[in-house]
């Protein structure tokens, strides 16, 4: 019984880097397959010489350096939680932005455990507990409580907030998204848990196949070949789609579907059910 209890206590871990890479194997020389952001609860599946094979809440697995997380109970599980709603949020040791540099800068969607929430009329700061038990302060304007789910039209408009952010292979945060990480994040704002990678997204039972002529804003586009899908984006209307791409300019951008480059590569259109 004691061994089972110890295992249960150490099976969970919490990411302590603003964004932590996940690799295909236990080495930084391996390719990056995804990322997990600060405060994310992850499951430890296997350990190997300073590395751990982990599983993220969206059931994605990969290897992460042990220095990127702390083993222990779930973070932001029992207390009130604030979620970063701006592209980035600075976390400070005190309610003064001039005395010291931020303790951390964390990305959009970071979840923070609230310790103290002074009256909004008098105080613009919220005190939070970090995964390593340090206290920190975040400005109220950087976070929301119980964020509401977006409609499809709201999600399409919301996507434009990310224009110009860098493309990053394996990226899942505002420090850098890859194409499927970006569309997965957008659908998450609707409360929809979509697979992480492009091919699984296109094959997912949560989408239905549609034709190019039937596209409406919010539909997903998949590019590549009949045998392998390698890129995705979201249709925003007017022959345009938004996507994270390394093509020409490696940023999140709006492109035209009628551009010969993208027309030739388009292989599937999907609508989330």
DSSP structure class, residue 263: H
Select from 145, 165, 182 the last residue of a domain. 145
Whether 76 is in a domain gets the answer no
Q: Pairing relation of β-strands 251-256 and 172-173?
A: unpaired
Mean pLDDT of the chain: 94
Strands (E), 16-147: 19-23, 32-37, 41-48, 51-55, 61-65, 69-71, 81-84, 88-91, 104-107, 111-116, 125-129, 135-139, 143-145
Among residues 100, 123, 179, 261, the one annotated as catalytic is: 179
26, 52, 71: which is the final residue of a domain?
A: 71
Same domain, 170 and 267: yes
Would residue 179 show up in a list of annotated catalytic residues for this protein?
Answer: yes
Considering the domain architecture, whether residues 125 and 168 belong to the same structural domain is answered as no
| Helix, strand, or coil (residue 259) | coil
Which of 14, 44, 71 is the last residue before a domain boundary? 71
- The string of pLDDT tens digits covering residues 76-85 is 998 899 999 9
Q: Which range among 97-101, 117-121, 207-211 shows the weakest confidence by mean pLDDT?
A: 117-121
Please tell me whether residue 118 adopts helix, strand or coil conformation.
coil
The domain that holds 85 is classified in CATH as 2.30.30.40
Domain span at 223? 152-272
CATH number (domain holding residue 218): 3.90.1720.10
pTM of the predicted protein model: 0.93
Is residue 85 a contact partner of residue 147, using CB atoms and an 8 Å limit?
yes
Instruction: Tell me if residue 123 is catalytic.
Output: no
Catalytic-labelled residue, pool 77, 100, 123, 243: 243
Domain count, the chain: 3
For the chain, how big is the Rg over CA atoms in Å?
20
Look at residue 121 and tell me whether its pLDDT is greater than 90.
Answer: no
Answer yes or no: 261 catalytic: no
pLDDT at 2: 42
């Amino acid at each position: 019984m004691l061994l089972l209890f110890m295992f249960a206590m150490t099976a969970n871990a919490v990411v302590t880097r603003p964004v932590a890479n996940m690799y295909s194997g236990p080495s930084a020389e391996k390719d990056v397959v995804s990322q997990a952001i600060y405060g994310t609860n992850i499951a430890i599946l296997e350990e190997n010489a300073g590395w751990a094979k982990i599983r993220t809440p969206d059931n994605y697995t990969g290897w992460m350096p042990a220095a990127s997380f702390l083993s222990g109970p779930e973070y932001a599980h029992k207390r009130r939680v604030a979620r970063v709603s701006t592209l980035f949020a600075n976390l400070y040791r005190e309610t003064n932005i001039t005395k010291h540099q931020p303790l951390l800068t964390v990305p959009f969607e970071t979840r923070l455990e609230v310790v103290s929430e002074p009256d909004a009329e008098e105080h613009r700061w919220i005190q939070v507990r970090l995964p390593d038990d340090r206290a920190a302060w975040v400005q109220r304007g950087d976070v929301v409580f119980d964020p509401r789910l977006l409609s499809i039209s709201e999600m399409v408009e919301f996507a434009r907030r990310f224009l110009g952010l860098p493309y990053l292979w394996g990226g899942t945060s505002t420090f850098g998204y890859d194409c499927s990480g970006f569309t997965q994040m957008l659908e998450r704002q609707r409360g929809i848990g979509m697979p992480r990678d492009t091919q699984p997204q296109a094959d997912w039972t949560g989408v239905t196949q549609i034709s190019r002529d039937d596209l409406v804003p919010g539909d997903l586009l998949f590019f590549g070949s009949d045998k392998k899908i390698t890129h995705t984006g979201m249709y925003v209307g007017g022959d345009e789609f938004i996507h994270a791409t390394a093509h020409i300019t490696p940023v999140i951008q709006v492109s035209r579907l009628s551009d010969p480059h993208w027309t030739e590569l388009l292989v599937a259109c999907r609508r989330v059910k």
